Structure 1
């Protein structure tokens, strides 16, 4: 079965920050490899979830996708055009179709501007998107779309709660009617109950406007709720990617399995029977990435081959003929399917399901 039409294609994306020494004559002595070879596609109307530990390069990837930073190498193709090579008016036109929702709703809004000015600011930069006399009406419509009272148009950010501020940020992202929204941990600073409201709002807006999302988060349960496909990042690279059911129910990469084993399980019986995987050591520095497989220093499966060879992000050889849920891309020489969290329900605790007599 073929997926949706690709609207964004990322290939060989790198972002290295140089480390220099000296005052007058600076010499590069190394580099922080924040993003170090990322490849993925995003389909029309699809949500791609990106998960991983703090410091793995998720937020840097988000800034690269909206061209807030220039990549060291690689390409980002929007509708077949490499946006990393654009500038001036051409880049401005593309940015209208790729918008971003930032992580912190407290610092992403200008405290000196009213909500109406914040949401309407994109119209000042792209005046062709809305006639000048029609902008206030458009702003009121956007407030209503994201579940806020249009009468709040003259209020300031400090007069809103965290969840309401994030809704304002979403409204600003929708102002130009983009095709793609990059959401960089949009609910991590919110309470759990408010997180659910914002996630449901994003899902509703996607169905209404046909949006495509790159949804970045460190909470795997939230990513599963909203994503069609999931990419797991570790130290600047995607190490496993597949449909949400493939990643969560049939993970094959050891790092993904370790992440899933740390996800809270609401069913006490399932929690008793799950296997908790504790990784040894710390995440290596992005200035000194291990040779071969970059996860090998914390992996219980590591062998000599892992030191010498970089595992490709591809379907493992042992799963290529099965066509089952484990047949998805995984960057591991010794990939093995493993159910980390048992299914919920009576069977999870080993009890036989109750049946009524015939």
Structure 2
């Protein structure tokens, strides 16, 4: 995988203070807002040209909402999303349409994201109907066949329907549709979670190849830590609407400092039975709080094994912990915890997917 050079590429997407609250109302004739579901509650990150940012977290933490906000499928309650320095949250009409051409999305479920009444040729070619300037009308069928060939499908499948394909093939069709307009950014919302492990490896390797070929930048959203480590240059861990830790894949997987990240990594399956017996699991108590009633102070404190009275009154800042600022090293990365510290590494390493001799990623 290509890693960022020492001279980091320029940011292509900058997200600051991103918020999305869904109002809770009561009444029929006279609706009154009684609260809000805080799906995303202050997210900040930067995506650089040609890199992959992985976003991980439990179901319901706000990952998919972030994806929809980045693609302007929903409007944020507050915050800014800057693409090439321009705040796209304030755009509409033709200006927003032009930006959407460069930020495309691959959806989570390959079985519901494709219209069953449309042929593959119509599905992949539909972006050309919305952006006719990309491909002349007489040239579109050829372009569609080229896209199918790029993602590893037979170009002669243009007249087939989605039900005639397997899950992995359907996801390739979704990727071809995302590539149709030659975007700069692809937001992939759990693109392999509905697929079996062997097909996951094929799709992930395809995405890596396309990134190198087309110079794409990815926001890759998933809950499978092994998949995220394989494809990502940097990783952001989300909990209850906020990013609680961010860094390179080595910093997050080998030197986590936030208790939530450490708990997630302790639950990753280890293929070595002896190492699995020796390692110490972190079992979190309680359930994830409702996003409509977020705890005061640190939102993770109700389940945290390090919680202190300070955690209930003071919101931790996402920054390099003070204990590591002078030392430097891989532990010196952003972590939103008052008591951030490294944990003793488990006896068995966190499994990662490496390419095998045939170019496919191996299963965890």
TM-score interval (norm. to shorter): over 0.9
Q: Tell me if the contact between 2:279 and 2:348 (Cα under 8 Å) persists in the aligned partners.
A: no
Whole-angstrom distance in 2 between the partners of 1:97 and 1:7 = 11
- Residue 272 of structure 1 and its aligned partner are, at CA, apart by 2.3
Aligned to 2:220: 215
Aligned to 1:16: 21
Q: Tell me if the contact between 1:251 and 1:339 (Cα under 8 Å) persists in the aligned partners.
A: no
Aligned to 2:359: none
2:180 to 172, 175, 182: 175
Q: Does the residue aligned with 1:74 lie in a helix, a strand or coil?
A: strand
What are the Cα deviations for residues 204-226 of structure 1, in whole angstroms up to 9, with x where unaligned?
00000000000000000000000
Q: How does 1:180-195 map to 2 (within 5 A)?
A: 180-195=185-200
Whole-angstrom distance in 2 between the partners of 1:206 and 1:66 = 19
Give unmatched runs, 5+ long, in structure 1.
346-358
2:82 to 77, 96, 121: 77
Relative to 1, partners in 2 of residues 1:148 and 1:339: Cα closer, same or farther, differing over 3 Å?
farther
1:327 to 329, 332, 343: 332
Task: Please tell me whether residue 48 in structure 1 is matched to residue 53 in structure 2.
Answer: yes
Aligned to 2:267: 262
Q: Tell me if the contact between 1:260 and 1:340 (Cα under 8 Å) persists in the aligned partners.
A: no
Whole-angstrom distance in 2 between the partners of 1:107 and 1:98 = 21
Q: Tell me if the contact between 1:255 and 1:295 (Cα under 8 Å) persists in the aligned partners.
A: yes
Q: Tell me if the contact between 1:267 and 1:344 (Cα under 8 Å) persists in the aligned partners.
A: no
1:234 to 225, 236, 239: 239
Whole-angstrom distance in 1 between the partners of 2:221 and 2:108 = 9
Provide the alpha-carbon RMSD of the alignment.
1.0
What are the Cα deviations for residues 61-87 of structure 1, in whole angstroms up to 9, with x where unaligned?
100000000000000000000000000
Q: Tell me if the contact between 2:324 and 2:332 (Cα under 8 Å) persists in the aligned partners.
A: yes
Task: Please tell me whether residue 309 in structure 1 is matched to residue 314 in structure 2.
Answer: yes
Task: Please tell me whether residue 206 in structure 1 is matched to residue 211 in structure 2.
Answer: yes
Aligned to 1:294: 299
Runs of 4+ in structure 1 deviating by more than 4 angstroms, as ranges, are none
Whole-angstrom distance in 1 between the partners of 2:249 and 2:349 = 17
Whole-angstrom distance in 1 between the partners of 2:7 and 2:72 = 29
Give unmatched runs, 5+ long, in structure 2.
1-5, 351-364
